[in-house]
Amino acid sequence: MDFISILSVFVLACFVGYYVVWSVTPALHTPLMAVTNAISSVIIVGALVASMAAGAEIAKWLGLVAVALASVNIFGGFAVTERMLAMYKKKER
């Protein structure tokens, strides 16, 4: 992809983000932060690329540490969001 098409994806995604986030109910703002935390760990993709590449030993280890950190976030973020969301219950009638 050339720079302009990437930039287009980015700008459009910002608009999507704007409208989607405004539609989130304020009661779920804490789970919102937890889940955005989890998904921003998609940076693990970069960490995986670095850790798998042959050639630079230091870069590989930096990548591996980044993979571990991002994994903490992915598993922790989704699990804690799941735990919180499970607590939101409607009135029993």
Q: Please give the residues from 1 up to 60 whose contact with other proteins meets the rule CB under 8 A.
A: 1, 3, 6, 9-10, 13-14, 16-18, 20-56, 58-60
Q: How far is the CB of 22 from other proteins (least distance, A)?
A: 6
Distance CA 46, CA 67 (A): 9
- Interface with other proteins (CB under 8 A), residue total 81
CA–CA dist 59, 47 (Å, integer): 10
Q: Are 32 and 88 in contact (CB under 8 A)?
A: no
- Minimum CB separation of residue 4 from other proteins in Å reads 11
